[in-house]
Chains A and B, each alone.
Chain A
Amino acid sequence: MSKANPPSFTLDGKTIPFGEGQTIIQAAMDAGVYIPHLCFNPEFKPHGSCKLCTVKADGRQTASCTQQAKDGMVVESDIKEINDERRALLQMLFVEGNHFCPSCEKSGNCQLQATAYELDMMSPHFDHFFPDRPLDASHPDYLLDFNRCILCSLCVRASRDVDGKNVFALSGRGIKSHLIVNAKSGHLADTDFSGDDKAAHVCPVGVILKKRVGFATPIGQRSFDEQPISATPHPVVKGA
């Protein structure tokens, strides 16, 4: 620790110091530099599935959430080539599910929506898949709207690693991958899920929603209405 120069890499020309074992995105966030991401959450072990955080590290594209930082590494993130790819990945996520922002309670607090604004996504571009994903409103206090699921598995990880419950899991494969809950009936009401669970509060989109708090905060006054996601990637959402 007494070394004159702590290890660092450059991110779009800016010097970013890093600690032992840190990945690129972890060091960047500590330094207050935003790299777009969805399945990454600083409270959890990096997962590396959404690929939104892709950067160019020493000329090679890699997910910055799982790529270990290396001393002297040259990382490019906020460049056209990479942002174009991120936008296409976002468009893929939008057409894969059924996302109707104007009627979604999570609008304004949704990381997918906010990241799309951040990256100037003007249209879904690809043909929609329009999948059939029934809601699960069985639980007295919480609603699951699978239409919006982007398969980041944050709820899976939170329930397993923090709550010690395994309420959520992924099933299926490929484009048929989907979120399931730990109940023979397949209904959330028949699991040991509770609103006090960490898993109830990690969804970056609008799948896991508390009932009876609809529009408590008016649209226009929500987290990402006030500040872009690049300023506060993980705001504390009121009322969630």
Chain B
Amino acid sequence: MVNQTNPHAAYLDPILARHRHNPADLLQILIAAQEAHGHIHTDAIDHLSAALDLPRAKIEGVAGFYSFLHLKPQGQYRVLFSDNITDRMLGNMELMNSLCSQLWVEAGKVSEDGLVSINTTSCTGMCDQGPALLVNNIAINRLTQERINAIAELIRERVPVSAWPAEFFAIEDNIRRRDILLDGHFQSGSALAALLQRGSDATLNEIKASKLRGRGGAGFSTGMKWEFCRNATGDAHYVVCNADEGEPGTFKDRVLLNGYADRVFEGMTLCARIIGAKQGFLYLRGEYRYLLEHLKAVLQHRRQQNLLGKGILGQADFDFDIEIHLGAGAYVCGEESALIESLEGKRGTPRNRPPFPVTHGYLNQPTVVNNVETFAATTLIAENGGAWYAGIGTETSSGTKILSVSGDCERPGLYEYPFGVTIAQVLADCGAHNTQAVQVSGASGVCLAPNEFQRRIAFDDIPTAGAFMVFDKTRDMFEVARNFIHFFAHESCGFCTPCRVGTSLLCNMMDKLAGGHGSPYDFAEIEKLNVLLQSTSHCGLGHSACNPVLDTIAKFRPAYDKRLAQKDFIPAFDLDRALSQARQMTGRDDTGAHLERNHEQS
């Protein structure tokens, strides 16, 4: 099958060499191949299949899983509008429609001249400075009509993205409240020096004593996770940092990686020393591709300081290095076992557990997977001790938590608080007024009404991975829930029946309600689906997919009631809507082109 004259070999061979022809790097190779050629060409797959000794169906299967990988040609300019609810609230749909009409292209399609494709994508982690988009995977924030007009002109003139005005690409950190972590006077190597002085076992004991719990949302004890992994036997141990920050409304890891990467990498190195790992990975979501060069530079600097590589800090038996792997648009890869599958170059399908990654992780070897913020926090503990850390926050939730605040408030951005802060306090600090609701921990989290604003951010009250989206009284909470449900359907991996089919059914039901065809029957259906997804889904995505609807039905019922025009069941099929394609084709929208005229625009 090896074809010496394959025209794609010229750019593929250096990529393959860089990845040592390692099939476990397939996803990284595909990402690089697409960056070189615009899409993954069918002839390129021939070459990769032969070079990696992988069946082409497997390569196509992997490429087909990730939203950012394309097996067909895309526009020379690939524009993806972030479509979190916060972007919607800032008018992203109007801006996208404007760009589409200026460039004569339909959303979701490639323009006829192959110049541009425009579509939406899941939250890009820029909610504090939206509306946001990605152009050829590079982020542009704070979109305005003026900026959209300028982008349309740049694309029409075929100006390379690298020559677009630099201010388009400015990304703010927006740190509004600093505590022990973001206050950040960090001397590279200080945590490692403390570890070497104290010893690995004693440092692990400090981490256990700190009562640090994972910051990705699940809240598992970090010390116990490291201990389980250290005690597990295997050919090699691995450290993985989960920087696949995909939960809508979360952007704290982006800021940590931008300004505190040294701490994050040092936390990973602490873990490596304790569990006995020689190799670490940072799995960076594709939306944060723009951080890659910066992160590589930080790693290189640490190698020069003898904080990574062979014989770290003069310890002959202390070798460790970190590789960065990119994601490619798949929220489910934030689930740790799906992330490991993705690291191994596969489709990001969550594994059956047990066994858990601490014993059977990357390449089935003992692996610690922790969140960016967790690793950063461990450096504080190594420096200052477990008792000091445990003294901050609450009894069950020690230390601080960084919140990504966005939505209807004067000062969106990052807020670091000791655990135990009330929702009301955060709202006061960020300048939120007339608040109707707060969605904590993203689409899969919890929606809180004003009578709950005295509740606290803590594992035993309101646990969170960090998102904090504020909605004032002008917002329609039904549309918030509908946006989240569409997100889950788009991001479902498709492995298990209930989530694959159930999330799409739920989408259709919410769209039916939005179209004014809902009845109490549909409410009962939604509740039945929720029970089914919670009890039978394969992973957390399916378990929590109905949360936004159930929360908003329970707490913001009027938003639903006003859509219940019907008392009795009516079918989702709508004769008049079925004519919409004909109307579009004929350019008509007069009354004669409609079957009935009693449809109210809501």
- Tell me, yes or no, whether A184 is within 8 Å of chain B by CB: yes
Given contact pairs A48-B538, A92-B498, enumerate 11 new A-B contacts (beta carbons under 8 Å).
Answer: A48-B496, A49-B538, A52-B497, A88-B532, A96-B501, A169-B57, A174-B493, A174-B504, A175-B504, A182-B57, A184-B45
Also in contact, A174 and B500, with CB within 8 A (given A48-B352, A61-B535, A92-B505): yes
- Tell me, yes or no, whether A176 is within 8 Å of chain B by CB: yes
Give the residue among B58, B489, B492, B493 with the most A Cβ atoms within 10 A: B58
The docked-state distance in angstroms from the alpha carbon of A13 to that of B505 is: 36
Question: Contact string, A66-107, partner B, CB cutoff 8 A, digits 1/0?
Answer: 101000000000000000010011001101100000000000
- Tell me, yes or no, whether B494 is within 8 Å of chain A by CB: yes
- Tell me, yes or no, whether B46 is within 8 Å of chain A by CB: yes
Interface size counted on chain A using CB atoms at 8 A? 40
Contact B492 A180 (CB under 8 A): no
- In the assembled complex, which residues on chain B have CB atoms less than 8 Å from the CB atom of A61? 535-536
5 residue pairs from A and B, CB less than 8 Å apart: A127-B508, A170-B494, A173-B66, A174-B489, A175-B503
- Tell me, yes or no, whether B528 is within 8 Å of chain A by CB: yes
Question: Contact string, A155-166, partner B, CB cutoff 8 A, digits 1/0?
Answer: 000000000001
Give the residue among A85, A92, A174 with the most B Cβ atoms within 10 A: A174
Question: Contact string, A162-192, partner B, CB cutoff 8 A, digits 1/0?
Answer: 0000111111111111001111100000000
Q: Which secondary structure dominates chain B's binding surface?
A: helix
Contact A51 B498 (CB under 8 A): yes
Contact B528 A88 (CB under 8 A): yes
Whose C-beta in chain A lies nearest to the C-beta of B531? A85
Contact B572 A51 (CB under 8 A): no
- Tell me, yes or no, whether B381 is within 8 Å of chain A by CB: no
The docked-state distance in angstroms from the alpha carbon of A138 to that of B572 is: 37
Question: Contact string, B527-552, partner A, CB cutoff 8 A, digits 1/0?
Answer: 01001100111100000000000000
Pairs A-B, 4 closest by C-beta atoms = A171-B64, A177-B494, A169-B57, A182-B57
Q: Which residues from 115 to 167 on chain A have a C-beta closer than 8 Å to any C-beta of chain B?
A: 126-127, 129, 150-151, 166-167
Q: Which residues from 462 to 521 on chain B have a C-beta closer than 8 Å to any C-beta of chain A?
A: 489-498, 500-505, 508
Contact A166 B55 (CB under 8 A): yes
Also in contact, A51 and B504, with CB within 8 A (given A170-B61, A173-B492): no
- Tell me, yes or no, whether A54 is within 8 Å of chain B by CB: yes
- Tell me, yes or no, whether A50 is within 8 Å of chain B by CB: yes
Contact B498 A89 (CB under 8 A): yes
- In the assembled complex, which residues on chain A have CB atoms less than 8 Å from the CB atom of B63? 171
The docked-state distance in angstroms from the alpha carbon of A68 to that of B286 is: 36
- In the assembled complex, which residues on chain A have CB atoms less than 8 Å from the CB atom of B489? 174-175
- In the assembled complex, which residues on chain B have CB atoms less than 8 Å from the CB atom of A168? 57
- In the assembled complex, which residues on chain A have CB atoms less than 8 Å from the CB atom of B572? 127
- Tell me, yes or no, whether B330 is within 8 Å of chain A by CB: yes
What bracket does the count of chain B residues touching chain A fall in? Answer: 35 or more
Contact A174 B536 (CB under 8 A): no
- In the assembled complex, which residues on chain B have CB atoms less than 8 Å from the CB atom of A180? 57, 60-61, 64
Also in contact, A50 and B497, with CB within 8 A (given A66-B352, A175-B489): yes
Also in contact, A49 and B496, with CB within 8 A (given A66-B352, A85-B532, A169-B55): yes
Whose C-beta in chain B lies nearest to the C-beta of A168? B57
- Tell me, yes or no, whether B65 is within 8 Å of chain A by CB: yes
Give the residue among A51, A126, A176 with the most B Cβ atoms within 10 A: A51
- Tell me, yes or no, whether B42 is within 8 Å of chain A by CB: yes
The docked-state distance in angstroms from the alpha carbon of A46 to that of B352 is: 10
- Tell me, yes or no, whether B263 is within 8 Å of chain A by CB: no
Contact B65 A175 (CB under 8 A): no
Whose C-beta in chain B lies nearest to the C-beta of A184? B42
The docked-state distance in angstroms from the alpha carbon of A170 to that of B64 is: 9
- Tell me, yes or no, whether B555 is within 8 Å of chain A by CB: no
- Tell me, yes or no, whether B401 is within 8 Å of chain A by CB: no
Whose C-beta in chain B lies nearest to the C-beta of A65? B352
- In the assembled complex, which residues on chain A have CB atoms less than 8 Å from the CB atom of B57? 166-169, 171, 180-183
- In the assembled complex, which residues on chain A have CB atoms less than 8 Å from the CB atom of B573? 127
Whose C-beta in chain B lies nearest to the C-beta of A165? B55
The docked-state distance in angstroms from the alpha carbon of A183 to that of B58 is: 11
- Tell me, yes or no, whether B278 is within 8 Å of chain A by CB: no
- Tell me, yes or no, whether B273 is within 8 Å of chain A by CB: no
Contact B61 A174 (CB under 8 A): no
- In the assembled complex, which residues on chain B have CB atoms less than 8 Å from the CB atom of A169? 55, 57-58, 60-61
B507 CB → nearest A CB, Å:
9
The docked-state distance in angstroms from the alpha carbon of A127 to that of B571 is: 9
Contact A54 B330 (CB under 8 A): no
The docked-state distance in angstroms from the alpha carbon of A81 to that of B228 is: 37
The docked-state distance in angstroms from the alpha carbon of A67 to that of B503 is: 25
Question: Contact string, B44-58, partner A, CB cutoff 8 A, digits 1/0?
Answer: 011000000001111
- In the assembled complex, which residues on chain A have CB atoms less than 8 Å from the CB atom of B505? 92, 95, 126-127
Also in contact, A175 and B500, with CB within 8 A (given A49-B495, A169-B57): yes
Contact B536 A173 (CB under 8 A): no
- In the assembled complex, which residues on chain A have CB atoms less than 8 Å from the CB atom of B237? none
- In the assembled complex, which residues on chain A have CB atoms less than 8 Å from the CB atom of B347? 170, 173
- In the assembled complex, which residues on chain A have CB atoms less than 8 Å from the CB atom of B504? 129, 174-175
- In the assembled complex, which residues on chain B have CB atoms less than 8 Å from the CB atom of A93? 497, 501
Contact B56 A182 (CB under 8 A): yes
The docked-state distance in angstroms from the alpha carbon of A180 to that of B58 is: 9
- In the assembled complex, which residues on chain A have CB atoms less than 8 Å from the CB atom of B490? 174
The docked-state distance in angstroms from the alpha carbon of A173 to that of B505 is: 16
The docked-state distance in angstroms from the alpha carbon of A128 to that of B60 is: 28
- In the assembled complex, which residues on chain A have CB atoms less than 8 Å from the CB atom of B535? 54, 61, 85
Contact B496 A166 (CB under 8 A): no
Contact A173 B64 (CB under 8 A): yes
- In the assembled complex, which residues on chain B have CB atoms less than 8 Å from the CB atom of A68? 354
The docked-state distance in angstroms from the alpha carbon of A62 to that of B505 is: 22
Whose C-beta in chain A lies nearest to the C-beta of B535? A61
- In the assembled complex, which residues on chain A have CB atoms less than 8 Å from the CB atom of B502? 92
Q: Which residues from 193 to 217 on chain A have a C-beta closer than 8 Å to any C-beta of chain B?
A: none
Whose C-beta in chain A lies nearest to the C-beta of B493? A173
